[in-house]
Each structure stands twice: as structure tokens, then as C-alpha cells.
Amino acid sequence: MLKLNSLYNMDCLEGMQEFPDKFFDLAIVDPPYGIGESGGQFRGRKGQGHRVLPKKERDNETPKREYFSELLRISKNQIIWGGNYFTDKLPVSRCWIYWDKLMGGDFSDGELAWTSFDAVLRKFTKCNKYHGKIHPTQKPVQLYKWLLRNYATSDMKIIDTHVGSGGSIIAFEDFGCEWIGFEIDKDYYEAATKRIEQHKSQFVLDLKQ
């Protein structure tokens, strides 16, 4: 079986098949929506330090039904960004999460996450600011930390099947939970690995000061 607290450059479906039923307490995932970079809402800013790697064809490929079946099999609860695009492959949700990007527009200036939880709609409204943007659908570490504070505990095992820029892993590391991550694209994997290692190094430096 694959080791926890590790990021793997491999197909997440192959990785998930190595785990028994309900092995993970929570899955927090952001699979490709199949409608462009980020549901038509990606607005990169030149000259502000954002560095997005070249868009890949697989960014427009939505996961097959088998992906969702495996995800629900190996995890007790799930948070799936872009879940509104996968309602034909998921059970009805009683708790959606809405990320308001504070762009000054309407409800479409945000993203929805499908969840397996039984609660009312939750809303995250921190400003959409990135530093060293890597992935076209990159989400802020603050968003992942908010999810962990509200839906997880530090003794959990958590999986992210589409790590992308690595923001989720940084949040997992800071939260203190056990985790595993998958990123099939080599460029994204290498960039995420570098970002995670830089974060760990900075954390060590901060402790020494």
C-alpha cells in the first residue's frame, strides 16, 4: 500500500485502488470540470507575480464515473469542488459549500463544492489572492485551512486526488493530519513538490527565530 504523508506523480484512480473501503476519513478534491480553466472564471493578472504553467489537454477531461465510485468507496466523507458539474455521477448533497471570490459580480463569480455532510450551505468569503500562481484552477491555502477547521480534525487521514499547485498539502501539513496526494501531470507535480518543500523549510526557519 502507498505511504501516507506522500505526494505521488501517478493516476489517482490506480492509487485509490490500493486502499480498503473507508480508509480515509475525508477526501478534499478538485478534479477538472471539463469546461475550461476554471468554469470560465479564471482571471490571471500579468505583472503581479502569477506564474501559471501551460494549460494541459487533460485539464478539460472530466473524471469518469469509476473515479467517483472509488472516491466514495475509500473515504467516509467527501468535499468535491466543481461538484455541480458532476451531479449525474454523485448522490444528492444536503450541504454545498460556496467560495465567494469577492470579484464584485454575481453568484457565478465563485465556485461550488459538493459535500457528503448533512448541514446547510456554507460560504467562504476570503479574498481570492495568490502568490506565485502555478495552476489555472489554483485555490488559496486559506480556503483549505477553512475547510479543515470546519470539517476535519487533526487525527484524520485525508486524501487529495488532484493536488495541482499543492495548496491542499500545505494546509494538511500545517493542520497536522495524515494525508496522501496524487498529481498525474509531471509539471504540476514538480512545481507542487517544490512549493511544499519551500513551505516546510520556511516553517523550520520560523521555529528557529
Delimit the domains of the chain by residue range.
6-39+47-208
Q: Which residue has the cell 507575480?
A: 49
Q: What is the 3-state secondary structure (H, E, C) of 140-158?
A: CHHHHHHHHHHHCCCCCEE
Q: What is the predicted pLDDT for the residue at 108?
A: 59
**pLDDT tens per residue across span 29-76:** 999 988 765 433 333 333 333 345 555 655 577 899 999 999 999 999
Q: What is the predicted pLDDT for the residue at 40?
A: 37
Q: What is the predicted pLDDT for the residue at 41?
A: 38
Q: What is the predicted pLDDT for the residue at 54?
A: 59
The rounded Cα 80 to chain-centroid distance in angstroms is 8
Extract the residue ranges of the chain whose pLDDT is less than 70.
36-59, 103-108, 126-137, 203-209
Best CATH choice for the domain 6-39+47-208 from the list 3.20.20.140, 3.40.50.2300, 3.40.50.150, 3.40.309.10: 3.40.50.150
Q: What is the predicted pLDDT for the residue at 186?
A: 97
Angle at 141 between CA 95 and CA 74, to 5 degrees: 50
Q: What is the predicted pLDDT for the residue at 168?
A: 98
